Amino acid sequence: MTGKPISAPTSAATSDRPAALLRWLFFFLIVRPAVLVLLGLNLRHRERLTKQGPAILVANHNSHLDTPVLMSLFPQRLLPRLRPVAAVDYFLKDARRAWFACNIMGIIPLERRPEGGADPLLPLERALDRGDILILFPEGTRGEPEKMTALKSGIAHLARRRPDVPVVPIFIHGLGKALPKGEALLVPFFVDIFVGERVIWTGERARFMEDLAARFEELAREAPPPDWR
């Protein structure tokens, strides 16, 4: 692992070929069958899911499985376009995790606390301009299982800079039960995924965040009550 660069490739599509192939195989042979057999998805409002990039998917975050499951909602040919956005301080902490995050998951690393005036959103904008589909978890981190916490407003800045890119809220229910934070044993559960209608940038940050939070509340009401103690 020592020879591998810690910095992420500029795009999963343009990264080195063996890694791209490995990524393709990982999703085709492991992620998709596991999602199909061990979990099982009830996808509601599939028609609201974007068919192509650029797009920003915004989801609640309870489990390490959130990202691969969301990625499995898209056809395999869109895999090179799918870019989860992940925190530098967690995912690039050790070399092995960084290699997996960058080459297999294809993350775009995000500096949670940028220093020295660097623009942390610049790589995300570039990816959107290339037509990528970003996956963001605006809660910032995996919270308590099956509970949503306040949304961070970084997503609003991104929406302001690229107002034409659809922001699609997705509510995930059940993955926090299958593999919650701090657990390594996957227990099979069906997962409900609710795709919301896109949120439109109306020129005001607070308004955008309210709209987004309201969308999530709406979707959460469709889900069964989070009876999980």
Partner 1 sequence: MFVRLDPTIWWTIAGIYAVLGLASILVFGVGRRVPALGSRELRQRVTSWWIMATLFAVAILLDRVASLVFLGFVSFLALKEYLSLIPTRRADRRVLFLAYLAIPVQYWWVGTEWYGMFIIFIPVYMFLLLPVRMVLAGETQGFLRAAGTLHWGLTICVFSLSHAAYLLMLPGADAGVGAGLLLFLVIVTEANDVAQYFWGKLFGRARVTPTISPNKTWAGLIGGIATSAVLAGLLAFLTPMVWWIATLIGAGGAIAGFCGDLVMSAVKRDLSIKDTGGMLPGHGGILDRVDSLVFTAPLFMHFIRYFYY
Token pair listed for 16: 């080195």
Q: How far is the CB of 39 from partner 1 (least distance, A)?
A: 8
Is the four-CA dihedral 205, 207, 210, 215 of positive or negative sign? Answer: negative
Which one of 7, 14, 42, 76 is in contact with partner 1 (CB under 8 A)? 42
Q: How far is the CB of 194 from partner 1 (least distance, A)?
A: 12
Residues near partner 1 (CB under 8 A), total: 16
Q: Distance (Å, rounded) from C-alpha 202 to C-alpha 183?
A: 40
Which one of 21, 30, 187, 200 is in contact with partner 1 (CB under 8 A)? 187
Strand partners, 50: none
Residues making up the chain, counted from first to last: 229
- Would you say 177 or 215 has its CB closer to partner 1? 177
Q: How far is the CB of 35 from partner 1 (least distance, A)?
A: 13
Q: Dmax of the chain from CA atoms?
A: 48
Which one of 183, 197, 210, 222 is in contact with partner 1 (CB under 8 A)? 183
Q: Distance (Å, rounded) from C-alpha 185 to C-alpha 22?
A: 24
Nearest to 150 by CA among 70, 67, 224, 216: 216
Q: Distance (Å, rounded) from C-alpha 166 to C-alpha 19?
A: 29
Token pair listed for 138: 């605006």
**Under rule CB under 8 A, residue 182 binds partner 1:** no
Q: Distance (Å, rounded) from C-alpha 100 to C-alpha 105?
A: 7
**Under rule CB under 8 A, residue 61 binds partner 1:** no
- Would you say 185 or 206 has its CB closer to partner 1? 185
Which one of 53, 145, 169, 196 is in contact with partner 1 (CB under 8 A)? 145
**Under rule CB under 8 A, residue 163 binds partner 1:** no
**Under rule CB under 8 A, residue 33 binds partner 1:** no
**Under rule CB under 8 A, residue 228 binds partner 1:** yes
End-to-end CA distance of the chain: 40
Q: Which residues bind partner 1 (CB under 8 A)?
A: 40, 42, 145, 174, 177, 180, 183, 185, 187-190, 224, 227-229
